[in-house]
Amino acid sequence: MEKLMSIRDLKFVPESYILPPDSRPGDTKIPFCNTIHVLDLKDPTNLVQQIIEASTEFGFFQLINHGVEEKLLQDVSNVAKEFFGLPAEDKAILFSDDPSKSCRLYTSIDYMKEEVHYWRDTLRHSCHPLEEHKQFWPEKPAQYRDGMGSYSVEVRKLSLYLLDLICEGLGLEPGYFRNETDQLTEVQFLAVNHYPPCPDPSLTLGLPKHGDFNLLTLLLQEMDGLQVLKDGQWLAVEPLPNAFVVNVGHALQIISNGKLRSAEHRVVTNRKLARTTITSFIAPSYSCQIEPARVLGPPLYRAFTYRDFIASYITDTYQRNPPLERYKLQL
Ligand SMILES: O=C(O)CCC(=O)C(=O)O
Ligand SMILES: [Fe+2]
């Protein structure tokens, strides 16, 4: 608990947060990338094609006019910031080292096991179905449960709509991602991330280079810090007012038989300002079988259960192995 960044207010970078030289972001300023597609959900012209193009090329796109009310976005951003501003004793109630908890506050990624720590705290909780999980969410700030509850429902609806468009664009049978029996989208969780100001952003990261292991991720950000890796170059994702940053996860890369890209990304820290983001992850249930859609040609990956994938993802990440490599088939 005493390791939470949001209660420490560090004026220097402790040794255990300094990355090895080859993973440090350094001092080079990375400009905003103006080629990451900004898609307007109200403009149906070539929308499906554009989503597929963006997801193939970058694995990332931004979404505007998505139908989630601006007021709700502002309310949840505020409540997220208020949560991290609460006194330590309020946060202590939710702090836990046990990753199986439905709702928990923790710092970095796996503080006890990792060699270097990351400059972030996260409140992570399951969301779907809402009534099963909401009772475990923070009681403070008072608006947290209702605000995040409405937000998670809206973001889930939007994510499933995007998956329908992706389904159409890939030429899969309608409802491929909604088929209740194969549980591809059964799980949703939110991560509320807080990256406090860091005295030397050149030495640290808020999150290291990683790909998301789920199906589809929607991120709400008000401030810069997110960078995407493309062709060996880091590209900075510009915060656009009230937009969502959408990215393809590993499970969707596999289902699309490698057509859509689960791009690696990272978070850099800021010297002066704290950054708070809200990420919604749509994911399969643990028992769900993940495999390339049959209509997408000879499979490039073998089938596996999502539970096995999460276990191997964690091992591979610690050993710095690309997590999809072991599932590739030799053609
Ligand atoms: O906070 C961000 O900008 C990105 C968070 C992220 O990549 C994640 O939670 O997987
Ligand atoms: Fe991520």
CATH number (domain holding residue 110): 2.60.120.330
- pLDDT score at 180: 62
CA distance 208 to 118: 8
- According to DSSP, residue 32 is labeled B
Ligand 1 center from residue 62 Cα (angstroms): 14
CB burial of 19-51 (b: ≥16 within 10 Å; e: otherwise) equals beeeeebeeeeeeebeebbebebeeeeebeebb
- For residues 318 and 218, which has the higher predicted lDDT (pLDDT)? 218
Ligand (nearest to CA of 245): 1
Ligand 1 touching residue 265 (CB < 6 A) = yes
Q: Predicted ipTM?
A: 0.99
CA of 209 to the centre of ligand 2 (A): 8
Domain count, the chain: 1
Question: 330 — phi, psi (to 5°)?
Answer: -80, 125
DSSP string for residues in 92-104: HTTB-S-TTSSEE
Q: Ligand 2 centre from 208 Cα, in Å?
A: 9
Quote the DSSP letter at residue 128: S
Q: Which ligand is nearest to the CA of 119?
A: 1
What's the whole-number mean pLDDT along residues 295-300?
96
Element (H, E) at 281: strand 275-283
- Interacting residues of 117 by C-beta distance below 8 A, sequence separation 6+: 3, 16, 17, 107, 108, 111
What rounded mean pLDDT belongs to the chain? Answer: 95
Ligand 1 centroid – CA 106 distance (Å)? 15
The band of 121, judged by pLDDT with boundaries at 50, 70 and 90, is very high
- Full domain range(s) for residue 143: 5-285
Nearest to 77 by CA among 249, 239, 282, 213: 239
Domain assignment present for residue 311? The answer is: no
Contact 112, 16 (CB under 8 A): no
Task: Write down the pLDDT at residue 161.
Answer: 96
Task: Over range 269-275, report the average pLDDT.
Answer: 97
The proportion of the chain whose per-residue pLDDT surpasses 90, expressed as a percent, equals 91
Q: Is the omega angle on the peptide bond into residue 208 within 30 degrees of 0, that is, cis?
A: no
Q: Is 66 in the pocket of ligand 1 (CB under 6 A)?
A: no
pLDDT at 181 over 70: no
Ligand 1 contact, 280 CB (< 6 A)? no
In this predicted model, what pLDDT tens digit does every residue of 48-70 receive, in sequence order? 999 999 999 999 999 999 999 99
Using CA atoms in the order 84, 13, 209, 7, what is the torsion angle rounded to 10 degrees? -10
d(CA 31, CA 42): 28
Whole-angstrom Cα distance, residue 207 to residue 205? Answer: 5
- pLDDT of residue 182 exceeding 70, the answer is no
Q: What is the pTM of this model?
A: 0.96
- Is the CB of residue 274 less than 8 Å from the CB of residue 256? no
Tokens of 114: 């990792």
Residue to probe by mutation, ligand 1, list 240, 265, 266, 268, most atoms within 8 Å of CB: 265
Q: How far is the CA of 248 from the centre of ligand 1 (A)?
A: 13
Ligand 1 site, residue 250, Cβ cutoff 6 A? no
Element (H, E) at 63: strand 60-64
Mean pLDDT of 186-197: 97
**Which is nearest to 114 in space by CA: 326, 319, 279?**
319
**Helix, strand, coil abundance in the chain, percent, nearest 5:** 30, 20, 45
Tell me the CA end-to-end span of the chain in Å, nearest whole number: 49
Q: What angle do CA 284, 287, 291 make, to 5 degrees?
A: 65
Residue 177: the pLDDT is 93
Q: Does residue 304 sit within a domain?
A: no
Name the percent of the chain lying above pLDDT 70.
Answer: 99
Q: Which atom of ligand 1 is nearest to the CA of 226?
A: 3
Nearest-CA residue for atom 10 of ligand 1: 212
Spell out the residues 6+ positions from residue 308 whose beta carbon is closer than 8 angstroms to its own.
Answer: none
In a domain, 299, yes or no: no
User: Does residue 191 line the site of ligand 1, with CB under 6 A?
Assistant: yes
Tell me the residue type at 139: E
Res 4: pLDDT = 93
Instruction: Assess if residue 330 is contained within a domain.
Output: no
State if residue 193 touches ligand 1 by the CB under 6 angstroms criterion: yes
User: Do the domain assignments include residue 328?
Assistant: no
DSSP-H helix ranges across the chain: 47-57, 70-85, 88-92, 130-133, 144-170, 250-255, 306-318
In a domain, 38, yes or no: yes
